[in-house]
Amino acid sequence: MKQMMRGNFFLAAVFFLYTVPGFPLPGEDIAINGGIAWERMEMDVTVSLNLASAGLKFPNGRVQGEEYIRAAYPSLIQSLLSLIPVDSSRTVGDFIQSGDLSMDALKDFAAAASLSPPAFSPDLLLLRAPYALKLSSLGSMLPGSSRPAEILRTVGSNSSPGYTGIIIIASKELPAHGMRISYLARPCIFPKIWDTEMNLIFEKNMLKSGHSGPVVRYAKERDIFLSTPSGLSEELLSLAGERPLRIIAREIFGKRPTDPVIDREDALLITGNERNRELLREGRLVFVLADEVLNEVPGGN
């Protein structure tokens, strides 16, 4: 039963996070596929047009093909965007269904995608147009609480060494909180952090007003165990600094397992020190996840 549940969840996760089903228009001549590069917080997709099925010929049909793709892109991408996981229980589609995100706003986000020059497939049968969308921009469109959330304050010592960032390592399978099953932690736009007593340590409304960029930075193990003084890649060093607090997650929480659960003692290092609470407000957070949940799966049909 455990193996079956794990398998079913993995298939669901792959469906929601990576593989993108084709959305053909009449004539089965056009489709979209791609995936999410969580380290870059970008969705990379490719719209592919079958010239022959669309009644176009190479090379004269290129201009018409590009126009066809541009016209089809809005409807294709909107269906795909609705599958993006926002937090442990909701997708972008859930926000649209509840009325918290308008279709017009989603259209504006889709229209802001960067488009690389369309190119033909090696067999010259398909015209492919790659698009890239910034998920941090999408996150800024999603509503949150109208009031900033307070960070938990506990008795601690402000004389203890302050850290320059917080790195939570959740790259192995972890027990699901309250369940007899283990999962790999999965990425989403707005993950939370809990402690083993299920106190909420971090969520997006704890960030300072005006914070731009992603709520957390996702990374792979190899980016935090380098032969450098900090052990971090140059990109992570700019966020987490030379003396990051490294925490190994103990459990994972959520309907979709996106939220790491850390030891109470580790949580106290953060909540008992004002300088370290400030790291939460500034979003100096790195979540280290397994390579397979962060890998991008782009490409056309």
Which residues on neighbouring strands pair with residue 195, listed in sequence order? 262
Q: What is the distance, to the nearest Å, from the Cα of residue 286 to the centroid of all Cα atoms in its chain?
A: 12
pLDDT at residue 159 in the model: 53
pLDDT at residue 168 in the model: 98
Closest by Cα among 231, 201, 229, 203 to 215: 203
pLDDT at residue 28 in the model: 64
Query: Which pair of tokens denotes residue 216?
Result: 């957390």
Query: Which pair of tokens denotes residue 145?
Result: 């609480």
Q: What is the distance, to the nearest Å, from the Cα of residue 186 to the centroid of all Cα atoms in its chain?
A: 9
Look up residue 102 and give its DSSP letter: -
- Over the chain (301 residues), the average pLDDT of each successive run of 10 is 37 35 51 91 94 82 90 90 93 94 93 94 92 92 70 70 93 95 96 97 91 91 90 94 96 96 95 93 97 62 30
pLDDT at residue 145 in the model: 46
What pairing do the DSSP bridges indicate for beta strands 182-183 and 174-175? antiparallel
Look up residue 59 and give its DSSP letter: T
CB 47 within 8 A of CB 20: no
C-alpha atoms less than 13 angstroms from C-alpha of 30 in its C-beta half-sphere: 24
Which residues on neighbouring strands pair with residue 109, listed in sequence order? none
d(CA 136, CA 37): 12
d(CA 111, CA 168): 34
CB 129 within 8 A of CB 120: no
Backbone angles phi, psi at 34, to 5 degrees: 155, -150
pLDDT at residue 288 in the model: 98
Question: Is residue 188 packed enough to be buried (19+ CB in 10 Å), middle (13-18) or exposed (0-12)?
Answer: buried
d(CA 171, CA 175): 12
d(CA 75, CA 267): 44
Query: Which pair of tokens denotes residue 205?
Result: 């409304």
Query: Which pair of tokens denotes residue 189?
Result: 């736009």
pLDDT at residue 124 in the model: 86
Query: Which pair of tokens denotes residue 151?
Result: 């960070």
d(CA 249, CA 169): 6
What pairing do the DSSP bridges indicate for beta strands 30-37 and 42-50? antiparallel
User: Which amino acid does the sequence have at 55?
Assistant: G
